[in-house]
A = this chain, B = another copy of it.
Amino acid sequence: MAEIEIVKDIMEENDEIAREVNGILNSKNIYCINIISSPGAGKTTLLEKTLARLKGRTECAVIEGDISTPIDRDRLLPHCDSVYQINTDTFGGDCHLSAFMIKDALKEFDLDKIKLLIIENVGNLICPADFEIGEHSKVLLYSLTEGEDKPLKYPVSFNVADAIVVTKMDLLPHLEVDMAKITENIAKVNARAKVIFVSSKSGEGLNEWIDYLTTAKK
């Protein structure tokens, strides 16, 4: 009983800070997306391509979430001046980002110079879906290599997503994967999400993804 109360308190406190973060972003006209996926679904690679395409067009900032290492920040810095790395091992190794971490991270940026804030959450297809962090929309990345059944097995994460980006489309000829089943299973869990099929390697779908990002941020 005490456990349930404590969890409820943690969630309520998080949601309150998330609303505060969202208010700060709105006051500065910054649109914010929260990218969620399994480890290795291609979040950082997609961001490399995205930032390269948005350079000189939209002022971006990125918050990188990982348990450990500044690897992702270092990958993105060549494409964007404003990249901040959160390592959750300084907070006990949390398996997701929390709103208070984002609130702190905002202090690292000149918010008057940003139009789009991209947050790459910790690689985890479960826990990040439960924690609002002040974002305007959630984008879920789903690698083709993960198989057709993932929407059904991870329904909460797939359901909260505003957009679902199916990644690594270039590997399709080398996988035994049924694309119709992928589309069908996504629709079963979330018929409302925009679904985009991309390959950061071949460039497939990147125009549609950039269009979505730049349209959504209005």
Q: With A124-B124, A125-B123 as given contacts, are A69 and B3 in contact (CB-CB < 8 Å)?
A: no
Chain B residue numbers with a CB within 8 Å of A150 are 39-40
Integer count of this chain's copies in the complex:
2
Within 8 Å by CB of A155, from B67, B126, B201, lies: B67
* Contact between chains at B3 and A153 (CB < 8 Å): no
Chain B residue numbers with a CB within 8 Å of A67 are 126, 153-156
What's the least CB distance linking A42 to chain B, in Å? 9
A153 to B89 alpha-carbon distance, docked (Å): 10
A147 to B171 alpha-carbon distance, docked (Å): 14
Q: With A143-B40, A168-B145 as given contacts, are A68 and B152 in contact (CB-CB < 8 Å)?
A: yes
A128 to B144 alpha-carbon distance, docked (Å): 24
A95 within 8 Å of B (CB atoms): yes
Within 8 Å by CB of A40, from B71, B126, B145, B170, lies: B145
